[in-house]
Amino acid sequence: MHKLFKLASVALVSASLAGTALEAVNIVSNTGT
C-alpha cells in the first residue's frame, strides 16, 4: 500500500514537471517565431 502511494506521488511529480517543461517549450517556441 505504501509502495503504491509512493509510486503515485512520483508519477504525479513527474507529470507536473513534464507539464511545466512543455509549457516552457511552448513559450520559447512562441517567442522564437
Residue 17 CB-half CA count within 13 A = 6
Between the CA of residue 31 and those of 19, 24, 25, 26, what are the distances in Å? 18, 11, 10, 9
DSSP state for residue 9 in the 8-state scheme: H
Q: How confident is the model at residue 32 (pLDDT cuts 50, 70, 90)?
A: confident
Furthest C-alpha separation in the chain: 48
pTM of the predicted protein model: 0.64
* Cα-based distances in Å from 4 to 13, 14, 16, 30: 14, 15, 18, 39
Tell me the pLDDT tens digit for each residue of 4-25: 999 999 999 999 999 999 999 9
